[in-house]
């Protein structure tokens, strides 16, 4: 796939799937390992606790 040579290898593999298989990959769980993402998740979780929206 010379047209997409700038994409990562795992993305190129997905590009070769059928339309329905590519759409299915959109709904798979993924690990988010970025600092900003962690801070957003933590902030959201803490807001649930402090606002009484989460009960233990």
Percent of the chain with pLDDT over 70: 82
CA dist., res. 24 & res. 18, Å (int):
10
Q: What is the pLDDT of residues 25-44, one digit of tens each?
A: 999 988 767 888 878 888 87
pLDDT band at 14 (very low <50, low <70, confident <90, very high): very high
pLDDT at residue 3 tops 80:
yes
Helix (H) and strand (E) counts in the chain: 3, 0
C-beta of residue 54 within 8 angstroms of C-beta of residue 48: yes
What pLDDT is recorded for position 55? 56
0.85 exceeded by the pTM?
no
C-beta of residue 15 within 8 angstroms of C-beta of residue 7: yes
C-beta of residue 14 within 8 angstroms of C-beta of residue 25: yes
C-alpha distances out from residue 49 to 4, 29, 39, Å: 45, 25, 15
């Amino acid at each position: 796939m010379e047209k997409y040579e700038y994409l990562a290898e795992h993305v190129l593999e997905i590009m070769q799937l059928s339309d329905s298989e590519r759409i299915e990959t959109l709904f798979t769980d993924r690990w988010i390992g970025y600092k900003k993402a962690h801070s957003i998740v933590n902030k959201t979780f803490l807001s649930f606790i402090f606002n009484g929206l989460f009960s233990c």
